[in-house]
């Protein structure tokens, strides 16, 4: 009996120490360390994750915890006020902006390519796909890989007789936003039946959670096809299709073709950063690409957090950009960096801009 008493007291002591420790930390960081919480897009997650890990070394006073829950999640949690910043590849529409509790600043951080990843055992290394084929696959009209339409675009290639296993996002996604805008632009049937957005009523396919989930489905299912960000496909050795762009060329999704798609956007961004770069006109532009944004409130409620946030964003659009290219994200063209700097200067606390420059 005594041992039971002793062990229960021991348990109580341990619990109280744990909770007291937590409570003390909860009262405020003793070392002056600040934690910021962000959530949102899975599209730039490999890069953002690297950024926050590097920035913790650059500025050990600030720790930024980012969780990739999808662009829709980023927007919703920013709206609910449960995170300090959001990340989304789908910019907020005017309607959505109005429903936010305060004005929101969009900071484009990098551009990325949405590749069509394919799992074709025994098939060609690089399948060529036209916009019509992609649309028909996602509409459910093309059901097998050796369909004559795919064969016509890939003369001489041996296509396996596998069913096409379509994968899409099950969560609210900016990647879906970019992809469905592309489909709506190139295929009228898609625009009429399904439309574009972060979450749509998919005619066919399996839902995966996040870019991670879709990549997982494609990787593990022979015959799988899915739309994922370039870094995910490359890091997981998935074959990406060559897509025919607006100029008629079958373009491979690479860093340079993404940059080609992004470079033409600077002019349009001067008016509104929420620019779509799908189906870009340049001859070597990859047609399914998009910018990704960090979303912050223009009027910050907490001075320390606001300052830390703005300092990080400043680092991200300058020093952080050199981490983008090794991960196959297109760095911001210099014109857009200038637009971003101006946007950063509008972020303020109690009316005064937070960025001293």
Partner 1 sequence: MSSVTSRAHSLRQRGVFGANASDRVFRWGLFVFAASVLAIIVVLGYELAHASLPSMRHFGWRFLITSRWDPVHYVFGALPFVYGTLVSSFLALLIAVPIGLGAAVFLAELSPRWLRGPVSFLVELLAAVPSIVYGLWGIFVLLPALRPVQVWLGQHLGFLPLFQGPAYGIGMMAAGLILAIMVIPFITAVSREVLQAVPASQREAAYALGATRWEALRGPVFRYARAGILGAIILGLGRAVGETMAVTMVIGNRPDISLSLLSPSYTLASALANEFLEATVQIHTSALLELALILFAITVVINAIARAMLWSVSRGMAQGVRE
Partner 2 sequence: MTSAPRRTRSRVWEAKRKAANGTMWIVACTATVAAVIPLVVILYYVAAHGLPALNIAFFTQLPKPPGETGGGMANAIVGTLVLVGLASAIGLPIGILGGVYLAEFGNNRFGWGVRFAADVLAGVPSIVIGILVWVIVVVPMHSFSALAGGVALGIMMIPTVMRTTEELVRLVPLSQREAALSLGATQWRTVFKVVLLAAKGGIITGVLLAVARIAGETAPLLLTTLGNSFWSTRLDRPIASLPLQIFQYAISPWDDWHAKAWAASLLLVLLITVLSIAARYVTRGRLRAVR
Which residues sit at the interface with partner 1, rule CB under 8 A?
A: 69-70, 72-73, 75-77, 79, 96, 99, 143, 163, 165, 170-172, 194-202, 205-209, 216-217, 220-221, 223
Exposed / middle / buried, residue 252 (Cβ in 10 Å: 0-12, 13-18, 19+): middle
At closest approach, how far in Å is the CB of 197 from partner 1? 4
Residue 65 or residue 99: which is nearer to partner 2 going by CB?
65
CB of 255 to partner 2, least distance (A): 16
Instruction: Select 101 or 353, whichever has its Cβ closest to partner 2.
Output: 101
For the CB of residue 113, give the shortest distance to partner 1 in the complex, in Å: 23
Residue 50: which of partner 2, partner 1, none does it interact with, CB under 5 to 8 A by kind? partner 2
The option from partner 2, partner 1, none interacting with 79 (CB < 5 to 8 A, set by class) reads partner 1
Q: Which does 170 bind (CB under 5 to 8 A by kind): partner 2, partner 1, none?
A: partner 1
First to last CA, the chain: 69
Closest approach, Cβ 86 to partner 1, in A, equals: 10
Tell me the closest approach of the beta carbon of residue 297 to partner 1, in angstroms. Answer: 16
Which residues of the chain form beta strands (DSSP E)? 34-40, 62-68, 85-88, 104-118, 128-129, 165-169, 206-208, 224-229, 239-240, 242-244, 250-251, 289-297, 299-300, 348-349, 352-353
- Which of residues 79 and 187 has its CB atom nearest to partner 1 in the complex? 79
Neighbouring residues of 169: CB distance < 8 A, sequence distance ≥ 6? 70, 175, 176, 199, 207, 208, 209, 210, 213, 214
What does 45 bind: partner 2, partner 1, none (CB cut-off 5 to 8 Å by kind)? partner 2
Q: What is residue 253's three-state secondary structure?
A: coil
Helix/strand number for the chain, H first, E second: 14, 15
- Give me the least distance between CB of 138 and partner 1, in Å please: 13
C-alpha span between 91 and 331 (Å, rounded): 18
Of 336, 309, 355, 328, nearest in space to 86 by CA: 309
- Closer to partner 2 at the Cβ: 80 or 155? 80
> 116, 243 in Cβ contact below 8 A?
yes
Q: Could you list the residues that contact partner 2 (CB under 8 A)?
A: 1, 4, 14-15, 18-19, 21-23, 25-26, 35, 37, 39, 45-46, 49-50, 52-53, 56, 63, 65-67, 69, 80-83, 208-210, 212-213, 215-216, 219, 231-232, 235-236, 327
67 versus 263: smaller Cβ distance to partner 1: 67
Nearer residue to partner 1 within complex by CB, 214 or 261:
214
CA distance 230 to 143: 25
Q: Which is nearer to partner 2, 231 or 243 (CB)?
A: 231
DSSP H or E run through 5 = helix 2-26
CA distances from 48 to 26, 94, 212, 294 (A): 27, 26, 14, 10
Residue 91 or 205 with smaller CB distance to partner 2 = 205
Could you tell which of partner 2, partner 1, none binds residue 273, using a CB distance below 5 to 8 A set by kind? Answer: none
Min CB(223)–partner 1 separation in Å: 8
10 binds, among partner 1, partner 2, none (CB under 5 to 8 A by kind): none
Q: Are strands 128-129 and 242-244 parallel, antiparallel or unpaired?
A: parallel
Residue 123 touches which of partner 2, partner 1, none (CB < 5 to 8 A by kind)? none
**Do the strands 224-229 and 165-169 form a parallel or antiparallel pair, or are they unpaired?**
parallel
- From 191, 284, 290, 291, select the one nearest 245 (Cα to Cα): 284
Query: What residues form DSSP beta bridges with 187?
Result: none
């Amino acid at each position: 009996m005594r041992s039971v008493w002793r062990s229960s007291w021991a348990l109580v002591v341990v619990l109280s120490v744990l909770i007291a420790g937590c409570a003390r930390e909860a009262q405020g960081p003793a070392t002056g360390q600040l934690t910021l919480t962000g959530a949102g897009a899975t599209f730039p997650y490999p890069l953002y994750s690297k950024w926050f890990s590097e920035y913790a070394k650059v500025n050990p006073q600030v720790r930024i915890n980012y969780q990739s829950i999808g662009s829709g999640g980023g927007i919703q949690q920013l709206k609910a006020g449960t995170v300090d910043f959001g990340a989304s590849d789908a910019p907020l529409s005017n309607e959505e902006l109005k429903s936010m509790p305060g004005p929101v600043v969009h900071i484009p951080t990098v551009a990325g390519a949405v590749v069509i990843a394919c799992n074709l055992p025994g098939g060609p290394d690089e399948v060529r796909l036209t916009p019509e084929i992609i649309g028909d696959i996602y509409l459910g009209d093309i059901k097998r890989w050796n369909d004559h339409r795919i064969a016509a675009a890939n003369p001489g290639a041996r296509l396996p007789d596998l069913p096409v296993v379509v994968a899409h996002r099950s969560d609210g996604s900016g990647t879906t936003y970019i992809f469905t805008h592309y489909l709506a632009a190139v295929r009228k049937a898609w625009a009429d039946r399904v439309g574009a957005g972060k979450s749509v009523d998919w005619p066919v396919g399996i839902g995966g959670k996040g870019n991670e989930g879709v990549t997982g489905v494609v990787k593990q299912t022979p015959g799988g096809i899915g739309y994922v960000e370039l870094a995910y496909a490359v890091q997981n050795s998935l074959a990406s299709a060559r897509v025919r762009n607006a100029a008629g060329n079958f373009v491979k999704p690479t860093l340079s073709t993404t940059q080609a798609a992004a470079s033409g956007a600077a002019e349009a961004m001067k008016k509104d950063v929420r620019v779509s770069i799908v189906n870009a006109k340049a001859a070597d532009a990859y047609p399914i690409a998009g910018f990704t944004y960090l979303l912050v409130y223009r009027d910050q409620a907490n001075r320390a957090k606001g300052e830390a946030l703005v300092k990080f964003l400043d680092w991200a659009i300058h020093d952080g950009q050199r981490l983008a290219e090794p991960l196959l994200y297109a760095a911001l063209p210099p014109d857009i960096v200038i637009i971003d700097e101006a946007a950063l200067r509008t972020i303020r606390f109690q009316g005064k801009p937070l960025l001293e420059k």
